[in-house]
Amino acid sequence: MSDQTGNRLADAVSPYLIQHKDNPVHWREWSDAALEEARDLDRPILLSVGYAACHWCHVMAHESFEDPAVAAVMNRLYVNVKVDREERPEIDQLYMTALQAMGEQGGWPLTMFLTPDGRPFFGGTYFPKRASHGRPGFVQLLEAVGTAWRDRRDELDGSATAILDRLSGFLSTTAEAGRLDSLAVAPAAGRVIQLTDPVLGGFRGAPKFPNAPYMEVLARSSFEGGPAEHRDAFLRTLRSLSCGGIYDHVGGGLHRYATDERWLVPHFEKMLYDNAQFLRHLGWAYRATGDALFRTRIDETVDWLAREMRVAGGGLAASLDADSLDAAGHPEEGAFYVWTEEEVDDVLGGSDAAFKRAYGVTPSGNWEGKSILHRLHPGATSADPDFAEARNRLLDARAERTRPGRDDKVLADWNGMAIRALAEAARATGNPLALELARDAFAFVSNHMVIDGRLRHAARDGRTAGLALSTDFGTLIQAAVALFATTLDSAYLDRASFFAAELERWHADGTGGHYLNPSDSTDVPIRLRGDHDEAVPGGTAAVIEGLSMLAQSTGSIEIAERAEQAALLAAGRLGEGAGGAPGIVSAAGRLRRGSELCIIGDPSNHGFVAMVDLARARVDLDRLDLITDAPEKLPANLPLAAIHPSRLPAAYICEDRVCRAPVYDATALQALLGEG
């Protein structure tokens, strides 16, 4: 038996795990070896799941995990395992679902008690060190669970088996193929609209999250000719996100959520996945409305990604912490982002009354005596270019503050989402930095995260961790196709085809469906489907969307059939619950109504430019747009490539592998695309 003492997180890849390397707790990373140790010692596992930007994770660490007396109890009774939920999302999903199955509300830190082979029998989230507000103290809980394990072992073992069986039925279910029409957007959007805030956007009440997968359902309904109410709700949400305190008006980028119902007070962490989805939605809103607010937020968010999230080699970091040090050197949530009136006056020289009115800066502040900058005042929905200089001066001044911690690991799936968003932003606005970031991030994943031919989930400082999940493959296929559509570089399609083959090799279930975790992930008690969304679409949605896009861009019938079979099987598993899986609903739309539009001509020709501008304004989230000066630049297998217009500029569209006759001016193209 190996040495069972000591903290073993010093060699971790994850910055979150490294944060805990000096704890007196004998932490292990999740692995087969940790499970084997628990079996050898016949001890339960204490599993603690969190992430680097999690405020209450830090609180519990300071209160309990850094305390030698608490650690002594943990080390005496348990094998202690620390997991970064972003590095091992399948572990987080499994045990978070277990907690919810026990009737508890989920959240992080996640604290779970497991049998030595990983079956859950009790859990919770944050536990205070001492009993308070009706919650037991952490040491009290540790001792109570330890006693129960000793005295009621059979009872706990039976409960753990029952819970894991329930989880298998929910997370790993298999069903006959369903119908594609059960994944229709309209009924799902009808349910979403009932939950939306008619004044402030998003869902009613507090806290308010962006809820991007659900907002996408509303956008799709709107752009597919659904009720104007759905378009208004989507745009209202985007405007609130763009004007509220949840948006960083000095440095750009979206915070994770607002703690209030007005979008004023954010939880100050910034996540790459939120900003990737925000950027895509801004692109749709800008294309549909031409509103300068959305264009400005696109450019600001791209600048923020370049300035604060790009790591050496071009990958994009996972998150920025909510906490940083205040002027007195004390850790404080939001310290980096908020302002006193005096601080604003010092930076702007006192001639700033208009700025302070516009951004809500007052002597008493709007949050804990300080001001969160916002543009929520009635009528204050413009991009406010007149304040750009003032905001740049504040940005320079803010750079002198202690920055929030950055989790600089590169996650394949979150980078895939961001790459697609950046490529689409480049096409919508012509922003060259967006395309540069997209290319560089894709190159980072391809060059640094494929080890011995095998894609990895996470990377940092030249090291990788975690086998790739279906979300990684799905989002990277999407990213590759988006880059191809923007650049017409066929090398991206080659890479997408590689990822599609690897997806099938490691994640296929033998019936046309896929599992989230790969076939050789021996340290996970069950294989998960990935049908259900969190803040981002789940693995099944990512796969359906990615394969559908690849089929559109290559003309591959086999890939199209794989995408459709994955969607039909998902429909069968979801049954009447499709409304709770907005990612799958959105992805399946491409199978029902996907099309390919080609516009060919000289970029200096006014007629060509008019057709391109029209296509961009006619937002269709299932249409693949390919714009070129010569048809031979298109993949040879595409039906689009077989068309040779009699004159240029020309545009034509293909649906169900059948192409319509070319049209030669914007008026004819408008009739072809519909009113939008």
**Contacts from 376-385 at CB under 8 Å and sequence distance 24+?**
376/240, 376/243, 376/244, 376/245, 376/262, 376/263, 376/264, 380/243, 381/239, 381/243, 381/293, 382/292, 382/293, 383/292, 383/293, 383/295, 383/296, 383/297, 384/358, 385/292, 385/296
Mean of all residue pLDDT scores within the chain: 94
Q: How far is CA 645 from CA 610, 648, 652, 661, 662, in A?
A: 18, 7, 9, 9, 6
- Residue 375 falls within a domain, yes or no? yes
CB 587 within 8 A of CB 545: yes
Q: Determine the pLDDT at residue 379.
A: 64
In tens, the pLDDT along 410-451 reads 999 999 999 999 999 999 999 999 999 999 999 999 999 999
Last residue of a domain, one of 136, 171, 206: 171
Instruction: Please state, in angstroms and rounded to a whole number, the distance separating the CA atoms of residues 143 and 241.
Output: 45
What secondary structure letter does DSSP report for 398?
Answer: H
Give the span between the Cα atoms of 228 and 97, in whole angstroms: 36
Task: Quick: pLDDT tens for 330-353.
Answer: 888 899 999 999 999 999 987 688
Contacts of 303 (CB under 8 A, 6+ apart): 252, 433
| Continuous segment of H or E residues that includes residue 465 | strand 463-467
Is residue 586 domain-shared with residue 628, that is, in the same domain? no
Q: Which domain CATH number covers 562?
A: 1.50.10.20
Range in 24-28, 174-178, 383-387, 505-509 the model is least confident about: 383-387
Strands, E, within 7-134: which ranges? 27-29, 45-50, 79-84, 110-114, 120-124
Between CA 99 and CA 136 the distance in angstroms is 17
Residues 602 and 575 in one domain: no
Please answer whether residues 209 and 535 qualify as being in contact, where contact means their C-beta atoms are separated by less than 8 angstroms. Answer: yes
- pLDDT, residue 30, reads 97
> How far apart are alpha carbons 229 and 100 in whole angstroms?
34
Confidence at 675, pLDDT banded by 50, 70, 90: low
657 lies in some domain: yes
Residues 167 and 21 in one domain: yes
For residues 559 and 665, state if they share a domain. no
Residue 460 has pLDDT above 70, yes or no: yes
Q: In the predicted model, is pLDDT for residue 382 greater than 70?
A: no
In a domain, 277, yes or no: no
Residue 578 lies in a domain: yes
Reported as a pLDDT band with limits 50, 70 and 90, residue 54 is: confident
- Looking at the structure, tell me whether residues 536 and 516 fall in a common domain: yes
335: left (phi over 0), alpha (psi -120 to 50) or beta: alpha
Residues spanned by the domain of 602: 595-673
**Count of all residues that appear for the chain in the document:** 676
- The verdict on residue 419 lying in a domain is no
The reply to whether 153 and 20 lie within a common domain is yes
CA distance 661 to 213: 36
* Structure confidence at residue 656 as a pLDDT band (50, 70, 90): confident
Cβ proximity of 639 and 658 under 8 Å: yes
Ranges 228-232, 245-249, 424-428, 634-638: which has the least confidence: 634-638
CATH number at residue 21: 3.40.30.10
Per-residue pLDDT band for 2 (boundaries 50, 70, 90) equals: very low
Q: Could you tell me if residue 313 is inside a domain?
A: no
Distance CA 19, CA 408 (A): 13
- Dihedral (CA of 343, 346, 347, 353) sign: positive
Domain count, the chain: 4
Contact in structure between 411 and 473 (CB atoms under 8 Å): no
Whether 415 is covered by a domain: the verdict is no
Average pLDDT over residues 306-329: 92
Could you tell me if 545 and 478 are in contact, meaning their C-beta atoms sit under 8 angstroms apart? yes
Whole-angstrom distance, CA of residue 654 vs CA of residue 182: 25
Query: What pLDDT band is residue 324 in, cutting at 50, 70 and 90?
Result: confident
Structure-block tokens of residue 141: 């809980």
The token pair at 498 is 């590689």
For the segment 58-111, what is each residue's pLDDT rounded down to a tens digit?
Answer: 899 999 999 999 999 999 999 999 999 999 999 999 999 999 999 888 899 999
pLDDT at 175 over 50: yes
CA dihedral of 573, 577, 583, 587, whole degrees rounded to 10: 60
- Three-state SS sequence of 293-342: HHHHHHHHHHHHHHHHHECCCCCECCEECCEEECCCCCEEECCCCCECHH
Whether 558 and 622 map to the same domain: the answer is no
Query: Are residues 399 and 518 both part of a single domain?
Result: no
Residue at 362 is within a domain: yes
What per-residue confidence (pLDDT) applies to 1?
38
Mean pLDDT score, 440-467: 97
For the stretch 200-240, pLDDT in tens is 999 999 999 999 999 999 999 999 999 999 999 999 999 99
Last-in-domain residue among 528, 559, 592: 592
- Residues 361 and 505 both lie in one domain: no
> Which residue's structure tokens are 């000289």?
602
* pLDDT of 637: 84
Does the pLDDT at position 526 exceed 50? Answer: yes
Same domain, yes or no: 668 and 578: no
**Ramachandran area for residue 6 (φ above 0: left; ψ -120 to 50: alpha; else beta):** left
Q: What is the CATH number of the domain that holds 609?
A: 3.40.30
The residues, ordered by sequence, that sit 6+ positions from 156 with a Cβ below 8 Å of its Cβ are 115, 121, 122, 148, 149
pTM (predicted TM-score): 0.95
Place 4 in a pLDDT band, splitting at 50, 70 and 90. Answer: low
What are the backbone angles phi and psi of residue 388, rounded to the nearest 5°? -60, -45
Could you please report the per-residue DSSP string of 363-385?
Answer: SS-SBTTBB-----STT--S--G
pLDDT > 90: percent of the chain: 85
| Nearest CA among 479, 478, 470, 414 for reference residue 273 | 414
> Is residue 523 domain-shared with residue 610, that is, in the same domain?
no
Give SS3 for 28: strand
Domain boundary among 171, 195, 225: 171
The pLDDT value given to residue 383: 66
Residues 642 and 656 in one domain: yes
Picking from 620, 493, 516, the residue whose alpha carbon sits closest to that of residue 566 is 516
The partner residues of 85 in beta bridges, in order of sequence, read none
pLDDT tens digits, residue range 561-584?
999 999 999 999 999 888 889 999
What does the DSSP 8-state code read for residue 514?
B
**Tokens 């060190």 belong to which residue?**
129
